[in-house]
Amino acid sequence: MADSKYRAAGVDIDAAADALEQVKPAIRATHTSSVLADVGSFGGLFALDGLDKDSVLVASMDGVGTKVKLAADMGRWRGIGFDIVNHCVNDILVQNARPLFFMDYVASSALDPQQVAEVILGVAEACRSCGCALLGGETAEMPGVYVEGAFDVVGAIVGSVERGAMLPKKDAMQSGDVLFGLPSSGPHTNGYSLIRRVISGKDLRQTIEGGVTLGDALLAPHRSYTQQIDALQRAGVSLLGLSHITGGGLVDNIPRVLPDGLRAVVTPGSWRRPEVFRLLVEWASMTDAEAYRVFNMGIGMVLIVPAGAEAQVAAVLPDAVRIGVLAPRTVNGASVTFE
Amino acid sequence: MADSKYRAAGVDIDAAADALEQVKPAIRATHTSSVLADVGSFGGLFALDGLDKDSVLVASMDGVGTKVKLAADMGRWRGIGFDIVNHCVNDILVQNARPLFFMDYVASSALDPQQVAEVILGVAEACRSCGCALLGGETAEMPGVYVEGAFDVVGAIVGSVERGAMLPKKDAMQSGDVLFGLPSSGPHTNGYSLIRRVISGKDLRQTIEGGVTLGDALLAPHRSYTQQIDALQRAGVSLLGLSHITGGGLVDNIPRVLPDGLRAVVTPGSWRRPEVFRLLVEWASMTDAEAYRVFNMGIGMVLIVPAGAEAQVAAVLPDAVRIGVLAPRTVNGASVTFE
């Protein structure tokens, strides 16, 4: 059927269909035995009979911010797929949930099937690597809404956790418990509006510490921490809390898992601040106080464990760094202090 | 803490927090007893113990297309909240699922807290009216990605259905089964890129049939069909299939629920084509063939029932219109014909 009028208005139904056709095998490869319907049904079907009756669903929805703009400017799309999945996976991991299924939404003023396919392939690969079914998704052409050449990616994740295993365990936390940090791969998905401003005019091909280019360092995909937390739990380490360091940084995210009477005392010198953050802070002429609220500053996930578990964490996770301790908090006192 | 550098880059963390504060009571009012965590946790928590072990989760994610652009141009935001929820609700209704929870994402180049609050209030009201918990959501400021003044809204829904009750029942369909159409409230959420083009220069305040303005007719929120399908099922009507008439219209959406050997014979003259579609088709100089693929043309949901259930459908749903029948389909023949 001719749909020339609709195409003239900026919407190409067939382009979206082309993109879907290319990525179907990768999507199907994520389908666990719980997935009932094939790609293209109205809604994705996920059977519950593999779950414990006592399970709780944990759901989250998010985008990856203006990292999409940098990716579009650099013509590199697949990493954004990893970004959106791993960001969402980490967001439910802090409640000790593991992913069941994921859905994605990719929109632009005009869809380039090849670019959409790259994003969705990244999504599918990231889903597969953590046993998460890519259950559905949508692409949208929105002339007049998106800036030409720009796109947005949104993800929704649903995972599950047994009710008794939910984190954080605020009641069990006490002064002297230890904070470990797991390294981030870069700014992950936060601070990119500022990053894009401060790198304006800089050479993205310049090599920084570790021999990577500035562009590569900035587009490094958001890291997933599922495997490391799995390893800790297999080793029998009692986790009290996890905090995913996203927008708001260590300052805003650690307090989300703390009880009222405790604060986190973080020692900024305890971990190596990656070069990319040193450069960004310098170029932006930011104070450290600002930087620790905008960027993760090299720590992507914070673990809270009893002091007695310290040696075991270090043994199971060689790259975990002891970054601080819990201490008593006075009424109206700060819930995170840097000392 | 001063975050002036970040604000200068176009991102206002506090504006988003303000918007959330305003809408918290409306969000909480959607929380059924299955919701465990309060607004603002990392992930939303939904207990499964109210569900049958044999239940299947049905999930869908979508936007409302460039209707958001028209809403932004007209400064009317709340209806978009109803649009995104009801669109998603209908998308899983066709598999006979009822909503459990919903999540939303609202993004713009710069967030206006009042506008965001209006959208989320619409989302919350629509969720509440269908017993769906608004479990989470995200707002994002994306300078450089969105056109100034434009925004996008994305929704993700998760519902459930008992495995034996899933639709469509393709194996039970046969020639002679009857198609009923339920009226749409307008173009719902499809065809807006074309609509925006053809109404360029038209007076949105002009009154059309029924005494509504053109602007009101175009922004009428997407209708939810849950209550009508509930009523049919309470009356014991055996439903064979449901088709939500979205992008692709009757032409593309009815075949999604038909078995290979059957086609739908639709009689376009059987229902009153609403004035707004007559005007749009005229202004766009579209052929009918195009119009029936871009617009719902006045039918928002199609029901397929056995011929014997016809009188009962008419009795329970006075506004349902008999729009056609199923007939044998030859190999490679069209799966929808207009006769």
Long-range contacts of A283-290 (CB under 8 A, 24+ apart): A283/A198, A283/A199, A283/A202, A284/A194, A284/A197, A284/A198, A284/B5, A285/B5, A286/B5, A287/B2, A288/A338, A289/B1, A289/B2, A290/B1, A290/B2, A290/B3, A290/B4, A290/B5, A290/B6
Q: Which helix (H) or strand (E) holds B238?
A: none
Look at residue B3 in the predicted model and tell me its pLDDT.
44
- Burial code of B251-271, b = ≥16 C-beta within 10 A, e = fewer? bbbbbbbbbeebbbbbebeeb
Coil, helix or strand for B158?
strand
Beta-bridged to residue B265, according to DSSP, are B325, B337
d(CA B38, CA A5) in angstroms, rounded, equals 47
Q: Which of B5, B13, B196 minimises the CB distance to A144?
A: B196
d(CA B246, CA B97) in angstroms, rounded, equals 18
Lowest mean pLDDT among B6-20, B49-63, B287-301: B6-20
Q: How many domains does chain A have?
A: 2
Please check whether residues B113 and B67 belong to one and the same domain: yes
- pLDDT over 70 (residue B57): yes
d(CA B196, CA B67) in angstroms, rounded, equals 8
Please check whether residues B12 and B131 belong to one and the same domain: yes
Test A43 with B286 for CB contact under 8 angstroms: no
Q: Residue range B308-326: average pLDDT?
A: 97
Look at residue A38 in the predicted model and tell me its pLDDT.
63
Q: Residue range B218-229: average pLDDT?
A: 97
Test B42 with A156 for CB contact under 8 angstroms: no
Domain span at residue A206? 170-338
Return the structure tokens found at B237: 């009507």
Instruction: Concatenate the DSSP letters of all residues of B54-66 into one string.
Output: TEEEEEEEEE-TT
- pLDDT over 70 (residue B41): no
Coil, helix or strand for B17?
helix
Tell me how close the Cα of B297 comes to any Cα of chain A, in angstroms: 15
pLDDT in tens, B304-316: 999 999 999 999 9
Look at residue A16 in the predicted model and tell me its pLDDT.
66
DSSP-assigned letter for residue A77: -
Tell me how close the Cα of A228 comes to any Cα of chain B, in angstroms: 19
With an 8 Å Cβ cutoff, is B327 touching chain A?
A: no
Measured in whole angstroms, the distance separating CA B321 from the mean position of its chain's CA atoms is: 20
Give B 156-185 residues with CB within 8 A of chain A.
Answer: 156, 158-160, 163, 166
Please check whether residues B157 and B174 belong to one and the same domain: no
Look at residue A22 in the predicted model and tell me its pLDDT.
84
Instruction: Concatenate the DSSP letters of all residues of B248-308 into one string.
Output: THHHHHGGGGS-TTEEEEE-GGGSPPPHHHHHHHHHHT--HHHHHHHS-TTEEEEEEE-GG
Percent of all residues in chain A with a pLDDT value above 90, rounded to a whole number: 80
Please check whether residues A270 and A208 belong to one and the same domain: yes
Q: Which of B61, B62, B277, B288 to mutate to test the interface with A (most CBs of A within 10 A)?
A: B61
SS3 readout for A241-284 = EEEECCCCHHHHHHHHHCCCCEEEEECHHHCCCCHHHHHHHHHH
Q: Residue range A14-19: average pLDDT?
A: 70
pLDDT in tens, A168-217: 999 999 999 999 999 999 999 999 999 999 999 999 999 998 899 999 99
* A127 pLDDT tier (thresholds 50, 70, 90): very high
Percent of all residues in chain A with a pLDDT value above 70, rounded to a whole number: 94
Test A5 with B166 for CB contact under 8 angstroms: no
d(CA B298, CA B273) in angstroms, rounded, equals 6
Pairing of strands A241-244, A299-305: antiparallel
d(CA A296, CA A294) in angstroms, rounded, equals 7
Return the structure tokens found at B257: 């629920």
Test B103 with A197 for CB contact under 8 angstroms: no
CB within 8 A of B258, min separation 6: which ones?
B168, B170, B173, B241, B264, B326, B329, B335
Q: Which of A9, A136, A144 minimises the CB distance to B194?
A: A9
Tell me how close the Cα of A212 comes to any Cα of chain B, in angstroms: 26
- Burial code of B286-317, b = ≥16 C-beta within 10 A, e = fewer? beeebbbbbbbbbbbbbbbbbeebbeebeebb
Please check whether residues B151 and B19 belong to one and the same domain: yes
Q: Residue range B243-248: average pLDDT?
A: 94
Look at residue A3 in the predicted model and tell me its pLDDT.
44
E strands present in A22-97? 44-47, 55-63
- pLDDT over 90 (residue B15): no
d(CA A56, CA A58) in angstroms, rounded, equals 6
Report phi then psi at B17, rounded to 5: -65, -40
Contacts of B140 in chain A (CB under 8 A): 63, 65
Look at residue A2 in the predicted model and tell me its pLDDT.
36
Look at residue B204 in the predicted model and tell me its pLDDT.
94
Please check whether residues A303 and A194 belong to one and the same domain: yes
Give B 218-277 residues with CB within 8 A of chain A.
Answer: 244, 247-248, 251, 256
- Burial code of B35-45, b = ≥16 C-beta within 10 A, e = fewer? bbbebebbbbb
pLDDT in tens, B138-148: 999 888 999 99
pLDDT in tens, A100-114: 999 999 999 988 888
pTM exceeding the 0.90 threshold for the entire prediction: yes
Lowest mean pLDDT among A31-35, A195-199, B37-41: B37-41
Please report, for the domain that includes residue A146, its CATH number: 3.30.1330.10
With an 8 Å Cβ cutoff, is B289 touching chain A?
A: yes
Look at residue B6 in the predicted model and tell me its pLDDT.
62
CB within 8 A of A258, min separation 6: which ones?
A168, A170, A173, A241, A264, A326, A329, A335
Pairing of strands A98-108, B151-162: unpaired
Contacts of A156 in chain B (CB under 8 A): 59, 61, 103, 156
Please check whether residues B176 and B159 belong to one and the same domain: no
Nearest residue of chain B to residue A285 (CA atoms)? B5
Tell me how close the Cα of A316 comes to any Cα of chain B, in angstroms: 26
Q: Is B149 left (phi over 0), alpha (psi -120 to 50) or beta?
A: left
* A1 pLDDT tier (thresholds 50, 70, 90): very low
With an 8 Å Cβ cutoff, is A74 touching chain B?
A: no
Lowest mean pLDDT among A13-22, A285-294, B160-169: A13-22
- pLDDT over 70 (residue B40): no
Test A152 with B107 for CB contact under 8 angstroms: yes
d(CA A224, CA A195) in angstroms, rounded, equals 22
Please check whether residues A196 and A314 belong to one and the same domain: yes
CB A182 within 8 A of CB A323: no
Rounded mean pLDDT of chain A?
92
Q: Which helix (H) or strand (E) holds A207?
A: none
* B2 pLDDT tier (thresholds 50, 70, 90): very low
Q: Which of A2, A46, A66 minimises the CB distance to B144?
A: A66
Please check whether residues A254 and A292 belong to one and the same domain: yes
> Chains A, B: CB contacts under 8 A, how many?
271
pLDDT in tens, A138-169: 999 998 999 998 999 999 999 999 999 999 99
Look at residue A40 in the predicted model and tell me its pLDDT.
54
Tell me how close the Cα of B325 comes to any Cα of chain A, in angstroms: 22
Q: Residue range B251-260: average pLDDT?
A: 95
Q: Which range in A155-164, B48-57, B106-115 is most confidently predicted, on average pLDDT?
A: A155-164
Q: Residue range B166-171: average pLDDT?
A: 95
Look at residue A11 in the predicted model and tell me its pLDDT.
65
Q: Which of A56, A97, A146 minimises the CB distance to B147?
A: A146
Please report, for the domain that includes residue A332, its CATH number: 3.90.650.10
Largest CA distance in chain B: 70
Look at residue A43 in the predicted model and tell me its pLDDT.
79
- pLDDT over 60 (residue B55): yes
Q: Which of A66, A140, A166 minimises the CB distance to B143?
A: A66
Please check whether residues A135 and A180 belong to one and the same domain: no
Instruction: Write the CA distances from A11 to A108, A275, B255, integer angstroms.
Output: 10, 43, 22
- pLDDT over 80 (residue A6): no
Nearest residue of chain A to residue B46 (CA atoms)? A57
**Domain closes at, from B143, B165, B187:** B165
Look at residue B86 in the predicted model and tell me its pLDDT.
98
Contacts of B60 in chain A (CB under 8 A): 42-44, 103, 136
Nearest residue of chain A to residue B295 (CA atoms)? A6
**Domain closes at, from A114, A133, A165:** A165
Lowest mean pLDDT among A312-326, B25-39, B50-64: B25-39
Please check whether residues A175 and A310 belong to one and the same domain: yes
Please check whether residues B38 and B133 belong to one and the same domain: yes
Look at residue B53 in the predicted model and tell me its pLDDT.
82
Q: Which amino acid is at B217?
A: A
Lowest mean pLDDT among A42-46, A107-111, B180-184: A42-46
Look at residue A49 in the predicted model and tell me its pLDDT.
85
Contacts of A301 in chain B (CB under 8 A): none
CB A182 within 8 A of CB A225: yes
- pLDDT over 50 (residue B212): yes
Contacts of B338 in chain A (CB under 8 A): none
- pLDDT over 50 (residue A83): yes
Beta-bridged to residue A133, according to DSSP, are A101
Tell me how close the Cα of B42 comes to any Cα of chain A, in angstroms: 6
d(CA A326, CA A335) in angstroms, rounded, equals 10
**Domain closes at, from A165, A198, A233:** A165
- pLDDT over 70 (residue B238): yes
* A257 pLDDT tier (thresholds 50, 70, 90): very high
| Complex prediction ipTM | 0.92
Contacts of A10 in chain B (CB under 8 A): 193
Contacts of A136 in chain B (CB under 8 A): 59-61
